[in-house]
Amino acid sequence: MSIASILLRARDPGQGHNLAFGVVAVTLAAVIFCIDTYTDIEGAIAVLYVVSMLLAAQSMTRIGLLVIATGCAALTFLSYAMTHGQEANLQETLRLFGALAALSVTTLLLLKTETARLNLLSTHSALSESEARYRSIFDRTRVALWERDYSKLRSYLMDVRAQGVIDIKAYARVNPTLVDHCGGLIKAVAANQAARELLGPKSSGMGIPQRALIAGQEKFLDMLQAIMDGDRTFEDKVEVQTDDGEDKLVLLSVSLPEDPAAFGRVVVSMVDITQRELALKARAEAQAELTKASRAAMAGAMSASLAHELNQPLGAIVINAQTLLRWLDREPPDLPAVRRSAERMIRDSQRASELIQNARRVLSSPNNDLESVDLGSLIDETVALMEHELQQSKTAVLVDYSPHIPTVSTVKIELQQVLINLMTNAIQAMDEAGCSERSIRITMNQPDIEHICIAVRDTGPGIGDDARDRLFAPFFTTKAAGMGMGLSICRSTLEARGGRLDGTNHPEGGAVFEIQLPIKPEAEHA
Ligand code: ADP
């Protein structure tokens, strides 16, 4: 670091003058010294060193100022010693102190000013740096951004509010020009490259109000309401049209500042969610198709079970009908016995009809109404439905639950399908592994006042290491003829009702799937 850089301020566009000021200050100090020492002019000439200091302040650093001040003080003393050394009187001494005091006060004030100047400079440079950083983010980000001047719009809305208007939508109904008027109060300040790419140069310049929000007036009014209510942000999905006439769905977000003065630069962003929404729609459609397919697969499995179950009452009806004929053929006919046979036939027909109705309920299109479901009966009913499969695979079912479990508000058929799926998976896992001991244990408890847990545990090989992480992923299957949709559908069905489904291996062997259900689903899941 050179002496010049310690004494003089850093180079800047005005540097040439800075050096000149320094030279003039030093020369002036020398001239004042000569006048003070070698002329007979009476008066506090040394006070003029202050002028030298003021000139030096234009170009010197704080150290430079201190050096000049010390130099001027030294010259004052020297001049005093040379002119009044032997015959110093009170008046001359007072003049000396007066000059030194003026020099000290001026130096202190100049040092203070220099410190304030430096602080201002550093604040200014921090501000410019932050502005440059903001600009660079604004220009380079891939999110479409706009800067808009909402100050006039805000003042207008505050005036409207001051007139007692609280609901802007109601106000717009009686003032049909409101939307146009408010749109006109918004001024475009800047749009970044991503904004121009999203909407095209014309539309991005024109901005949101004209092209997007006014098209969907309701949303524009929602934004006006947000400004009136003093909200910090406004966010919504909005349909916009590009320069090429293409419709896009975007997520619009407006950051509303707290400080009314900052409404001159409101940042508005748009994220194109057209593809994402289309993908979500396609996924929902695919899921619905697969749910149908899995329902069809379940229908196949259940019809075997149904045929088997119907065999029993139908066989009994035939036998009772034959018996009834025999009692009728007697001489005389045994009418009380005929009546008993007829009654048994009616009972068996009713049982067959119930079985068919039950199957129809399970297989018919889903009924989405919530009902109060007694889970104990639902489990028993489901086990009865699966009876044929269970018998064929020689699987025992153990059901264990407390009688005090409250009823749950849910869609019965959905829950029944989940249970059928879990039991079918358990049977298949035990079949595939060729397990000698085959049993499914269904337990139910109430872990807290809001939830019920149903666990379906089998004595199969358990969930394989490769399957553990992907168990609920759509299309994940380890079965040759599997679709891999069962667990995924079960989980989304339960989650849609505010429930959960998890699968792990039991420490004593086998897999255990746990359903957690809210006793009363929240409104959004109902
Ligand atoms: P799929 O039955 O068509 O394979 P799922 O989604 O119902 O589809 O099951 C996905 C995979 O989870 C199965 O292929 C199997 O590997 C594993 N899995 C499911 N239930 C069990 C179980 N009880 N025991 C062991 N593995 C199971």
Contact 168, 154 (CB under 8 A): no
pLDDT in tens, 33-42: 998 888 877 6
Q: What is the pLDDT of residue 524?
A: 58
Cis bond upstream, residue 257 (ω within 30): no
Mutate to test the pocket of ligand 1, among 425, 438, 465 (most ligand atoms within 8 A of CB): 425
Bridge pairing between strands 144-149 and 266-272: antiparallel
pLDDT at residue 408 tops 70: yes
What's the mean pLDDT in 269-282?
Answer: 87
pLDDT in tens, 134-184: 888 888 888 899 888 999 999 999 999 999 999 999 999 998 888 888 888
> What is 369-526's CATH topology?
Heat Shock Protein 90 (3.30.565)
Residue whose CA lies nearest to ligand 1 atom number 11: 477
CA of 491 to the centre of ligand 1 (A): 13
Check pocket membership of 426 for ligand 1, CB cut-off 6 A.
yes
Across the chain, mean pLDDT equals 85
Q: What is the pLDDT of residue 517?
A: 94
Domain with CATH 3.30.450.20 in the chain: 142-272
pLDDT at residue 395 tops 90: yes
Q: Which two tokens stand for residue 150?
A: 């909402």
CA–CA separation, 276 and 272 (whole Å): 8
Check pocket membership of 484 for ligand 1, CB cut-off 6 A.
yes
E-strand ranges in 105-257 read 144-149, 187-191, 233-241, 247-255
Q: How many CA atoms lie within 13 A of 362 on its CB side?
A: 29
Q: Which two tokens stand for residue 271?
A: 């994220």
CA of 116 to the centre of ligand 1 (A): 74
> What is 142-272's CATH topology?
Beta-Lactamase (3.30.450)
CA of 239 to the centre of ligand 1 (A): 42
Contact 246, 275 (CB under 8 A): no
pLDDT in tens, 51-76: 888 988 888 888 988 999 999 999 98
What's the mean pLDDT in 255-274?
Answer: 90
CA of 425 to the centre of ligand 1 (A): 6
CA–CA separation, 477 and 290 (whole Å): 14
Check pocket membership of 519 for ligand 1, CB cut-off 6 A.
no
E-strand ranges in 242-282 read 247-255, 266-272
CA–CA separation, 316 and 353 (whole Å): 14
pLDDT at residue 105 tops 50: yes
pLDDT at residue 210 tops 60: no
Dihedral pair phi/psi, residue 11, rounded to 5°: -65, 140
Nearest to 410 by CA among 294, 496, 309: 496
Mutate to test the pocket of ligand 1, among 439, 471, 501, 512 (most ligand atoms within 8 A of CB): 471
Q: What is the pLDDT of residue 209?
A: 44
pLDDT in tens, 325-381: 999 998 888 899 999 999 989 988 988 888 788 777 766 655 567 889 999 999 998
Q: Which two tokens stand for residue 55?
A: 């000139």
CA of 285 to the centre of ligand 1 (A): 23
Dihedral pair phi/psi, residue 44, rounded to 5°: -85, 70
Of 114-123, 280-289, 447-456, the least confident: 280-289
CA–CA separation, 158 and 435 (whole Å): 76
Q: What percent of the chain has pLDDT over 90?
A: 37
Domain with CATH 3.30.565.10 in the chain: 369-526
pLDDT in tens, 311-333: 777 988 998 899 999 999 988 88
Q: What is the pLDDT of residue 346?
A: 92
Mutate to test the pocket of ligand 1, among 459, 465, 477 (most ligand atoms within 8 A of CB): 477
Per the rule left: phi > 0, alpha: psi between -120 and 50, beta: everything else, 365 is beta
Q: What percent of the chain has pLDDT over 70?
A: 89
Residue whose CA lies nearest to ligand 1 atom number 14: 477
